[in-house]
C-alpha cells in the first residue's frame, strides 16, 4: 500500500511528543472526543463522524430503529429484539404490557410442550401413582391458562384493528387484580416447576393460538419459557452494568432506584433470546466489522471475516449469572472455564468465522451461512444505518469502522444486539491476532488507496450498499422576494358627528375648480357683477355669512390644530377639535352604500355649504406628491380652496377612478368650512353653470396633513 499522505496514529507517548507541533493529515483515535470534526480542514482525515452516538448507544439504536418503516419495508422485530426505555413513561407502560403478554405466550408454550408423553400422562392420569407424583410438587389451577388465552386473543384483535370500530372505549379484558394472580401462578410454573391442574382440555386451543401468534410475532420462537429480560445502562460498553432478570417487579424497582439514569431515560430493557444457537451447549455471539466511508450518499463496506466469542459456562436459563449469558471478552477473560463445558470449546473463548463454518459443515448446515447468516447481517446493518443517516453529521474526509454484535437463533437467523464504535483491535486470541491487523490494513486500503485509485484492492471489505446520489439544488445566493404590504399600527378611534345626506356630490373638473377659486378670491362687488343682474343683491349677503362662519371656525380650532400637527398620536384629539363653531355643530359622514353623487352638507338656514378641510377616502392614492406639497397654504393663512390639478394630473386621477357608479366607502370628514363657490347651490341663479356646480364638494388638505404625509403615499389610505 502506498500513499502520499502523512499518517499519524494516536498512540500515546508517540504522538504527544513527535507530532505535537505538526499538522496531522490522518488521525486514528479510539476516543471520538479527541478530534473536533467541525474544525478539520478538507484534506485532514479522521476515523469518526460527529453525532454517531445515535447509532452506537443502546438508547439511540432502540429509539431510531422504530423509524425503519419510513426507510424500508423490513420489520425491525425480525432482526432486533424488542427494546424499551424504562425512563420514558410511554415505553415503560409498553414494556409492562409486553412482559405480561410474553408471560402468556410462555405459559401456552409450556402447556403444549408439556403435553408430550411424560407430561401428558402426568396431567391425564387418574391413577394413585399419578396423584402421589403430583402431590410432591406444587400446582396451580387452569385459570392461568384461560387468562393467557384471553389476553392473547385481545392482542390479536388489536393487531387486526378490530377495536377501531368500537364506538365506546371498552375496558381491558384482564383486570389488574387478575394480572397479579396470573403472574404469581406463572412464576410458580416457569421458575419453580409447578404443574397445572386440568391443562389437558386446553392443549389444542393453546396450539392453535400459538400458530396464529407465530404469524405476527417473529420473535415467538426465541422468547422461551422463562421470560428473561436483559437490563442495560443506555450509554455503557463492554458489558458494564448489564443484568438478566425475569420478574417484573424487580425490573421496575431497579430502574426506579437510580434516579440519575432514569431521568435521562438511560435504562434500556431488551428481550433476552432464550433459545439461541449453541455450540457444544455453550452460548456465543458474533462480532462483525463494517465500514462507513460516506453518509451522503450512504456508503457501506462489509468485512468478509468475523469471529465468535464464547461463554465460559454451559448455557442454562435456570441461572441468571452474567458468566453464562454475557459473552463480552472484557467479562469472560476474568473467569475460569467451567469443568462442565465441552472440551471442544477453545480455551481462549474465540473462534474465527472459518472455524464456525467448519462446525456447520459437520452438521450439514454450511449452506445456511451464505443463504441466511450473511444476508441477514448485511440487511440488519443497512437498516440500522438508514434510520440514523439524517442524524449523523456527514463529512467527506471522514470514515468510521464499527463492530456489530449478533446472536444466531436455532434457525441461524441473525439478531442484532448492538453496534460499537471503535471496536477493540486487541490480539487477545489466535483468531483476533490474525484478523484485527488485517482489518486495519484493509481499512486503510479503502479510505486511502481507493481515494487515489477507485480500482484499488480493498482486501476483505466488500461494498454492499451505496445510496443513489441526491441532486442538491444549486445555490444562487440570497434572492428572496416578499410580496404584500406592511401592517401599520392602529390609531385611536376618532369621535365624529355624523349626519346623513341624500344630496349628490360631484368631483370638480379642472375648469370648474379654477372658476370657483377665482370666485372665492373676488371682492363682493366683482362677485355680484359676474352673476345675473336680478341676483346681485343676494351674493354680498352670502359672502358675509360665509366669511363670518369661516372666521369663527378658524379661531375655534387654531390651537388644537397646531397641537395635533406635532404628533400623529393626537389625531383623535385633532379630529375632535376641528368641528364647526358651537352654533354650527354639523359634520358629515356619508353612508357606505350611498353614491358619491348623493352627498352635499349644508349649514342649514344660512344657505352656506360645508367644504371638508381634511377629507380621506379609499379610492386611489394621490399621483403627484410634489404638487400636494405645493398646494399647502402659507403659515397663518388657512386655505379656503383646493389647488386645481394640472391637465395631466387630472387625467391620471380620472384613470385611477374608473367608475363611481358602485357603492363607495364612508367619507370621513375631520373639518368643515363654508365655501363661497358652494354657496350658490341654494339658488340656481347664482351661477351661470348651476347645473354643473350644484352639489359639489372641494377636497383640500390642510398644511398639517400635507406636512405629516410628506409626499410619502404608499397606496394605503391614511386617516
Q: Tell me the pLDDT tens digit for each residue of 471-528.
A: 655 655 666 677 777 777 777 766 555 444 444 444 444 444 444 444 444 444 444 4
Question: CA nearest 377: which of 283, 303, 469?
Answer: 303
Q: Residues of the chain with pLDDT > 90: what percent?
A: 40
Which grid coordinates belong to 511?
A: 375648469
CA gap 491, 498 in Å, rounded: 20
CA gap 561, 538 in Å, rounded: 33
In DSSP terms, 268 is beta-bridged to 85, 232
Question: Does residue 718 come out as left (phi exceeding 0), alpha (psi in the -120 to 50 range) or beta?
Answer: beta
In 3-state terms, what secondary structure has residue 56? helix
Give the mean pLDDT of 14-41.
76
Residue-level pLDDT at 124 = 46
Give the pLDDT confidence of 446-477 residue by residue, as tens digits. Answer: 999 998 899 999 999 999 999 987 665 565 56
Cα-to-chain-centroid distance, residue 400: 28
In DSSP terms, 28 is beta-bridged to 9
Terminal CA-CA length for the chain: 82
Position 294 pLDDT exceeds 60? yes
183, 375, 382, 413 from 369: Cα distances, Å? 40, 9, 19, 10
Contacts from 425-428 at CB under 8 Å and sequence distance 24+? 428/329, 428/333, 428/348, 428/350
Identify each DSSP E strand in 150-219 by its residue range. 195-196
235 or 690, which is more confident?
235
Question: CA nearest 629: which of 683, 542, 708?
Answer: 708
Position 628 pLDDT exceeds 60? no
Whether residue 476 contacts residue 572, with contact meaning beta carbons closer than 8 Å, is answered with no
Position 601 pLDDT exceeds 60? no
Which H helix or E strand runs over 668? strand 668-675
Residue-level pLDDT at 159 = 84
> What single DSSP character describes residue 393?
B
Give the mean pLDDT of 319-332.
87
Give the pLDDT confidence of 529-583 residue by residue, as tens digits. Answer: 444 444 445 555 555 555 555 555 566 566 556 555 554 444 444 444 444 444 4
Question: Does residue 239 come out as left (phi exceeding 0), alpha (psi in the -120 to 50 range) or beta?
Answer: left
Assign 264 a pLDDT band (cuts: 50, 70, 90).
Answer: low
φ, ψ at 238 (rounded to 5°): 60, 30
Position 197 pLDDT exceeds 80? yes
Position 613 pLDDT exceeds 70? no
Which grid coordinates belong to 472?
A: 442538491
CA gap 389, 256 in Å, rounded: 33
CA gap 120, 98 in Å, rounded: 29
Give the pLDDT confidence of 45-92 residue by residue, as tens digits. Answer: 999 998 888 999 889 999 999 999 999 999 999 999 999 998 888 999
In 3-state terms, what secondary structure has residue 182? helix
- Highest mean pLDDT among 338-352, 524-538, 701-715 belongs to 338-352
CA gap 13, 246 in Å, rounded: 47
Which grid coordinates belong to 143?
A: 385459570
φ, ψ at 665 (rounded to 5°): -70, 170
Considering only 156-160, 242-246, 406-410, which range has the smallest mean pLDDT? 156-160
CA angle 374, 379, 382 (to 5 degrees): 125
Question: CA nearest 414: which of 464, 363, 361, 353?
Answer: 353
| Residue that the C-alpha cell 437490563 belongs to | 231
CA gap 373, 353 in Å, rounded: 11
Residue-level pLDDT at 491 = 73
Residue-level pLDDT at 119 = 47
Q: Is the dihedral of CA 654, 660, 662, 666 positive or negative?
A: positive
Residue-level pLDDT at 718 = 42
> Which residues touch 76 (CB under 8 Å, ≥6 apart)?
65, 66, 68, 383
Q: Residues of the chain with pLDDT > 70: what percent?
A: 58
Q: What are the domain boundaries of the chain?
A: 54-80+276-466, 82-118+138-272
Residue-level pLDDT at 363 = 93
Whether residue 350 contacts residue 430, with contact meaning beta carbons closer than 8 Å, is answered with yes
447 or 674, which is more confident?
447
CATH 3.30.470.20 fits 54-80+276-466, yes or no: yes
Q: How many helices and strands in the chain, by DSSP H and E?
A: 28, 17
Give the largest CA-CA distance in the chain.
148
Give the mean pLDDT of 329-347.
88
- The chain-wide mean pLDDT, for the chain, equals 73
Is the entire prediction scored with pTM above 0.75?
no
Give the mean pLDDT of 154-162.
84
Assign 418 a pLDDT band (cuts: 50, 70, 90).
Answer: very high
Amino acid at each position: 500500500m502506498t500513499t502520499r499522505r502523512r499518517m499519524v496514529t494516536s498512540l500515546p507517548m508517540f504522538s504527544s511528543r513527535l507530532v505535537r507541533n505538526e499538522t496531522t493529515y490522518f488521525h486514528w483515535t479510539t476516543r471520538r472526543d479527541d478530534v473536533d470534526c467541525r474544525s478539520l480542514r478538507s484534506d485532514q482525515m479522521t476515523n469518526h463522524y460527529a453525532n454517531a452516538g445515535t447509532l452506537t448507544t443502546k438508547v439511540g439504536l432502540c429509539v431510531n430503529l422504530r423509524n425503519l418503516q419510513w426507510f424500508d419495508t423490513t420489520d425491525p422485530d425480525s432482526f432486533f429484539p424488542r427494546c424499551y426505555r424504562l425512563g420514558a413513561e410511554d415505553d415503560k407502560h409498553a414494556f409492562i404490557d409486553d412482559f405480561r403478554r410474553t408471560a402468556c405466550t410462555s405459559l401456552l408454550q409450556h402447556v403444549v410442550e408439556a403435553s408430550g408423553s411424560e407430561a401428558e400422562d402426568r396431567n391425564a392420569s387418574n391413577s394413585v401413582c399419578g396423584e402421589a407424583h403430583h402431590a410432591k410438587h406444587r400446582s396451580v389451577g387452569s385459570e392461568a391458562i384461560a387468562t393467557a388465552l384471553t389476553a392473547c386473543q385481545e392482542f390479536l384483535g388489536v393487531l387486526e384493528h378490530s377495536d377501531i370500530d368500537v364506538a365506546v372505549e371498552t375496558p381491558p379484558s384482564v383486570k389488574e387484580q387478575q394480572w397479579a394472580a396470573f403472574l404469581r401462578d406463572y412464576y410458580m410454573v416457569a421458575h419453580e416447576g409447578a404443574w397445572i391442574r386440568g391443562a389437558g382440555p386446553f392443549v389444542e386451543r393453546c396450539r392453535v393460538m400459538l400458530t396464529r401468534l407465530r404469524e405476527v410475532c417473529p420473535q415467538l420462537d426465541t422468547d422461551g419459557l422463562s421470560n428473561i429480560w436483559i437490563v442495560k445502562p443506555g450509554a455503557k460498553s463492554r458489558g458494564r452494568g448489564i443484568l438478566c432478570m425475569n420478574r417484573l417487579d424487580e425490573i421496575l424497582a431497579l430502574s426506579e432506584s437510580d434516579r440519575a439514569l432514569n431521568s435521562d431515560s438511560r435504562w434500556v430493557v431488551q428481550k433476552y433470546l432464550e433459545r439461541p444457537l449453541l455450540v457444544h451447549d455453550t452460548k456465543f455471539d458474533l462480532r462483525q466489522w463494517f465500514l462507513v466511508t460516506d453518509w451522503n450518499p450512504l456508503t457501506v463496506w462489509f468485512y468478509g471475516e468475523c469471529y465468535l466469542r464464547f461463554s465460559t459456562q454451559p448455557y442454562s436459563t435456570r441461572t441468571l449469572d452474567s458468566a453464562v449469558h454475557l459473552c463480552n471478552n472484557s467479562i469472560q477473560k476474568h473467569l475460569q472455564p467451567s469443568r462442565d463445558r465441552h472440551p471442544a470449546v477453545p480455551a481462549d473463548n474465540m473462534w474465527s468465522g472459518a472455524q464456525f463454518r467448519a462446525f456447520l459443515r459437520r452438521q450439514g448446515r454450511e449452506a445456511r451461512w451464505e443463504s441466511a447468516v450473511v444476508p441477514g447481517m448485511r440487511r440488519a446493518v443497512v437498516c440500522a444505518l438508514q434510520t440514523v443517516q439524517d442524524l449523523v453529521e456527514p463529512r467527506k474526509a471522514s470514515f468510521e469502522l464499527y463492530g456489530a454484535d449478533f446472536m444466531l437463533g436455532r434457525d441461524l437467523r441473525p439478531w442484532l444486539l448492538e453496534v460499537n464504535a471503535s471496536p477493540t483491535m486487541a490480539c487477545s486470541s489466535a483468531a483476533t491476532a490474525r484478523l484485527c491487523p488485517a482489518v486495519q490494513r484493509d481499512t486503510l486500503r479503502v479510505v486511502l488507496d481507493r481515494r487515489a485509485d477507485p480500482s484499488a484492492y480493498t482486501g476483505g471489505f466488500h461494498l454492499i450498499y451505496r445510496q443513489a446520489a441526491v441532486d442538491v439544488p444549486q445555490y444562487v445566493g440570497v434572492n428572496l422576494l416578499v410580496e404584500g404590504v406592511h401592517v401599520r399600527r392602529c390609531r385611536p378611534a376618532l369621535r365624529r358627528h355624523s349626519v346623513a345626506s341624500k344630496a349628490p356630490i360631484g368631483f370638480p373638473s379642472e375648469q370648474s375648480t379654477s372658476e370657483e377659486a377665482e370666485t372665492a378670491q373676488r371682492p363682493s362687488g366683482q362677485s355680484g357683477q359676474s352673476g345675473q343682474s336680478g341676483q346681485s343683491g343676494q351674493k354680498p349677503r352670502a359672502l358675509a355669512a360665509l366669511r363670518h362662519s369661516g372666521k369663527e371656525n378658524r379661531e375655534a380650532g387654531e390651537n388644537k390644530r397646531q397641537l395635533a400637527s406635532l404628533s400623529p398620536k393626537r389625531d383623535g384629539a385633532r379630529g375632535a377639535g376641528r368641528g364647526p363653531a358651537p352654533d354650527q355643530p354639523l359634520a358629515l359622514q356619508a353612508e357606505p352604500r350611498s353614491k358619491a353623487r348623493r352627498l352635499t352638507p349644508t349649514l342649514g338656514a344660512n344657505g352656506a355649504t360645508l367644504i371638508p378641510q381634511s377629507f380621506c377616502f379609499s379610492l386611489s392614492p394621490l399621483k403627484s406628491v410634489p404638487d400636494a406639497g405645493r398646494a399647502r397654504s402659507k403659515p397663518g393663512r388657512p386655505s379656503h380652496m383646493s389647488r386645481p390639478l394640472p391637465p395631466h394630473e387630472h387625467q391620471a386621477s380620472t384613470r385611477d377612478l374608473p367608475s363611481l357608479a358602485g357603492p363607495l366607502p364612508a367619507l370621513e370628514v375631520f373639518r368643515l368650512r363654508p365655501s363661497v363657490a358652494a354657496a350658490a347651490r341654494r339658488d340656481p341663479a347664482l351661477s351661470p353653470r348651476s347645473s354643473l356646480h350644484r352639489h359639489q364638494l372641494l377636497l383640500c388638505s390642510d398644511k398639517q396633513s400635507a406636512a405629516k404625509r410628506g409626499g410619502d403615499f404608499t397606496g394605503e389610505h391614511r386617516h
